Amino acid sequence: MAKYSLSANHCLSSGYQSEVLRGWQSSNMNVTPDQLVYPVFVTDEDADAKQPIEGFPDQYRYGINTLITTLKPLCDTGLKSVLLFGVTKLPKDNEGSGASHSQTTVIQAIRAIRTHLPELVIICDVCLCAYTNHGHCGVLDEDGSINNESSIERLAEVASSYAKAGCDIVAPSDMMDGRIGAIKAALRRCNLMSKVAVMSYSAKFASCFYGPFRSAAKSAPGKGDRRGYQLPPGSRGLAVRANDRDVAEGADYLMVKPGMPYLDIVRDTKNKFPNHPLAVYQVSGEYTMLHQAAAVGAFNLRQVVMESLQCMRRAGADILITYFTPQILDWLKEDKK
């Protein structure tokens, strides 16, 4: 049998035989503190609360005081941005009135962060699900269906209230048609359109990976599900169209959610909109899956987390939203020693 002769230009392994060479082959795969966003849950039940979340290891609902004491050392290790989610004891109704109440937990958190950690970039999730008595992301008609026009009007009011309180970015996660345009118009009316950016959850899929989050935010639907307004997991075309729509309406940042199962959508989005910064949300189910598997020895937590984030970067992510942010900041600091 003739011996196979390897062609010189087919010999690849010589190009990645050291850490430096592997780094050269992995351009733009670096993960830095500037790219990280830490999602945090804030409750108004007790200013000193630190409530463990069932099924969501090492994650908590923080009161305003404990939020600041938790974030302060993280800022000292390089934290640059947080994504706020409110969990409230205010009465819930069909319109989610508590979301924009002057004493709602998110507005209190914005003010506290502005006072104590003024350099921190504040992103506010904009949705109604945690504030409605039905757990859906918009206003419902009597027949239980979404009223899109009432929903986007209400979402614009919520976004404006957070912008007036002092956040840097509003991030609508509801997936209602036209909400980016409605929010931009509302920001214009209060003279904040040039000061507060909009990060659209532009390609958000109806995913099973959100389970621990819904427990954390107390936002699970009371009846039905969200498949009528979040994207079907198998749909690529709708993701393209949703991104198109939100860019046309003025979104400043785009997002794909969840992360790892949808890296093809990340690449599609970055290819089509290379000039829009793109966030990828490593959601609660992804976090818990990796955390629990590492806990039983399936793999090394640090290695698998960094691999997952590097793959998101490879696919086109500019911004990484992850519950692992505190650990990653420590790991990056260790690497500098």
Distance CA 172, CA 181 (A): 11
Catalytic: 270?
A: no
Taking each helix axis from N to C end, the angle separating 179-189 and 148-165, rounded to the nearest 10 degrees, works out to 40
CA distances from 166 to 170, 251, 252, 309 (A): 10, 19, 18, 30
How far is 152 from 96, CA to CA, in rounded Å?
12
Q: How far apart are CA 230 and CA 209, in angstroms?
A: 13
Catalytic residue among 89, 204, 333, 337: 204
Token reading at 213: 């989050």
Catalytic residue among 80, 92, 184, 257: 257
Nearest to 240 by CA among 251, 256, 227, 261: 256
Report d(CA 210, CA 288) in Å as an integer.
10
Q: How far apart are CA 152 and CA 130, in angstroms?
A: 16
Looking at residue 132, what DSSP letter applies?
B
Q: How far apart are CA 203 and CA 36, in angstroms?
A: 19
Q: CA-CA distances (angstroms) from residue 224 to 5, 117, 136, 144, 227?
A: 62, 40, 9, 9, 9
State which H helix or E strand residue 305 sits in.
helix 301-315
Q: Active site includes 218?
A: no
Active site residue ranges: 204, 257
